[in-house]
Amino acid sequence: MTPNQIGFALIYLGLFLLLGKWLRVKIKWIQNLFLPSSVIAGFIGLLLGPQILGAIFNGEGFWSTGLMTPEVIEVWRTLPGLLINVVFATLFLGTILPNLRKVWHIGGPQLAFGWTLGWGQYVVGILLTLLILTPIFDLPPMVGALIEVGFEGGHGTAAGLQGTFEEMEFSEAYDLAVGLATIGILSGVLIGIFMINWAIRKQKTEVLNDTDDTSANKKSGIIEFENREPAASMTVRPESIEPLSLHLAVIAVAIMVGYLVLQLLVYLESIIIGTELMTYVPLFPLAMIGGIIVQLFFTKIGYSDILDRRMVMRIQGLSLDILILSAIATVSLNVIGEYLVPFLILAAAGILWNVIGFFVLAPKMITSYWVERAIGDFGQSMGITATGLLLMRVADPKAESPSFEGFGYKQLVFEPFLGGGLVTALSIPLIFQFGPIPFLILSVLMLLLGLGFGILYFGKKKS
């Protein structure tokens, strides 16, 4: 593959993202679903690629690969696994870590609820594997972790674990996880919007009521001119170094630090324990640790303000848009078709668990603004963090509740472990190495821990 072909594949990304945004602006039913442009663009890429358009022409002639050349598909397949490191390296860069008391008081109820949903996905998935998927469909036990990987982790986590799936000789798990992530985002938005409307009609919300409406500009994703804010701040003079270049360099260092930490863990495990479990762990959760280390370093030397959080978020958002587009556009429909029944069982079970969690558990764990706060955790447990933020903005457009602050504090404790954190990354190797029963026992204990704190502690006090 030549550099020109790689460059052309990247140009294609821009064209598809722009087309996705144009459809979001022009088509009302897409607006009402609040689908991100990257998701729309990913489906367009899938439709116009070799698996659908190319299949219509039986893979022959000019349209054999649709509008996508084999080189474009090859480049796009590698992007999710690379860009997930950028997404996770930026999670804590440019932030000021608050004291633990404030995190516990404001974010505790949402942490307990999110923790319960996340570990519950493992419990549900592994039980399904033990009772149905392994004995009937002869699937390996690791598929029990795919609900959490696909739903809670999203496309990026699935992409980050692609190499792990291949090393464990079940590469099809990648396509199943990406498929689950896609189902999670779509159903998360649809069900989430339904939940918000239900809560408004039943007077469960404390912010919105039946008279509130969503503007056309908000649905289309356009910010009114008078409400526009700077996308980022200039923290250094461009004649010394372009601010964007500086932030990209810092993110690169964070990823490199994460890589060195991973190599150190692999080495220590080999000489102390004599096992190779850490060799199956992908880089992205360690890139997050690298980001924390780099942030602490800048804080220690007194230059923490040189990193602009909004600039970091723009880089993270770009990476996530490209990641989602390329992951959806290159997912293998053949694999999903081959494992269609197990796939549908996992998807239905994951959705059912999250819905039960919202309607049954959330009111018992979060005693104030429970709809506005729990809807964000529900959205994240169905798809990605952006889905949770989207639903919270629909339920609380002016941030009048503590939902956003609590969600942010919850992420400080939640993200290092679940939703693509260390537990998510280690779950597949641990199940592969030791079997599903020990991890099921751990998951049940962690589920009970979340339920205990959520219902018996936070549920008994004014949060």
pLDDT tens-digit readout, 229-262: 777 788 888 889 999 999 999 999 999 999 999 8
Residue at 45 is within a domain: yes
For the segment 367-376, the average pLDDT, to the nearest whole number, is: 88
- Among 313, 341, 372, where does a domain finish? 313
Are 433 and 324 within one domain? yes
User: Tokens for 228?
Assistant: 């526009």
Residue at 352 is within a domain: yes
Are 279 and 173 within one domain? no
Q: Which of 7-16, 179-188, 249-258 has the lowest mean pLDDT?
A: 179-188
280 residue type, one letter: Y
pLDDT at 137: 92
Summarised one tens digit per residue, pLDDT across range 337-356 is 888 899 999 999 999 999 99
CA 220-225-226 angle, to 5 degrees, is: 125
Are 318 and 257 within one domain? no
Are 277 and 362 within one domain? no
Q: Considering only residues 394 and 260, tell me which one the structure prediction assigns the higher pLDDT.
A: 260
pLDDT at 60: 62
Are 282 and 328 within one domain? no
Q: Is residue 216 very low, low, confident or very high in pLDDT (cuts 50, 70, 90)?
A: low
Residue at 255 is within a domain: yes
Residue at 214 is within a domain: no
State yes or no: pLDDT of 463 exceeds 60. no
What is the distance between the alpha carbons of residues 13 and 7, in angstroms, rounded to a whole number? 10
Transcribe 122-153 into DSSP letters.
HHHHHHHIIIIIHHHH---GGGGGHHIIIIII
pLDDT at 160: 79
Residue at 225 is within a domain: no
Q: Is residue 329 very low, low, confident or very high in pLDDT (cuts 50, 70, 90)?
A: confident
Are 303 and 349 within one domain? no
Structural domains counted in the chain: 2
Are 205 and 332 within one domain? yes
User: Do residues 141 and 433 touch, judged by C-beta distance below 8 A?
Assistant: no
* CA atoms within a 13 Å half-sphere pointing along the CA-CB vector of 21: 10
Are 320 and 301 within one domain? no
Residue at 237 is within a domain: no
Q: Is residue 200 very low, low, confident or very high in pLDDT (cuts 50, 70, 90)?
A: confident
Q: Is residue 158 very low, low, confident or very high in pLDDT (cuts 50, 70, 90)?
A: confident
Are 420 and 307 within one domain? no
What is the distance between the alpha carbons of residues 75 and 1, in angstroms, rounded to a whole number? 9
Q: Please measure the distance between the N-terminal and C-terminal CA atoms of the chain and give it in whole angstroms.
A: 57
Q: What share of the chain is helix, strand, coil (3-state, %, to 5)?
A: 75, 0, 25
State yes or no: pLDDT of 205 exceeds 90. no
Summarised one tens digit per residue, pLDDT across range 282-293 is 787 788 889 889
User: Do residues 410 and 107 touch, judged by C-beta distance below 8 A?
Assistant: yes
| Three-state DSSP class for residue 205 | coil
Q: How does the average pLDDT of the chain come out, rounded?
A: 84
What is the distance between the alpha carbons of residues 326 and 336, in angstroms, rounded to a whole number? 17
| Three-state DSSP class for residue 212 | coil
pLDDT at 101: 77
- The model scores a pTM over 0.85: no
For the segment 105-112, the average pLDDT, to the nearest whole number, is: 87
Q: Which of 95-104, 143-152, 215-224, 304-313 has the lowest mean pLDDT?
A: 215-224
For the segment 271-283, the average pLDDT, to the nearest whole number, is: 74
Q: Which domain holds residue 281?
A: 243-313
Are 144 and 161 within one domain? yes
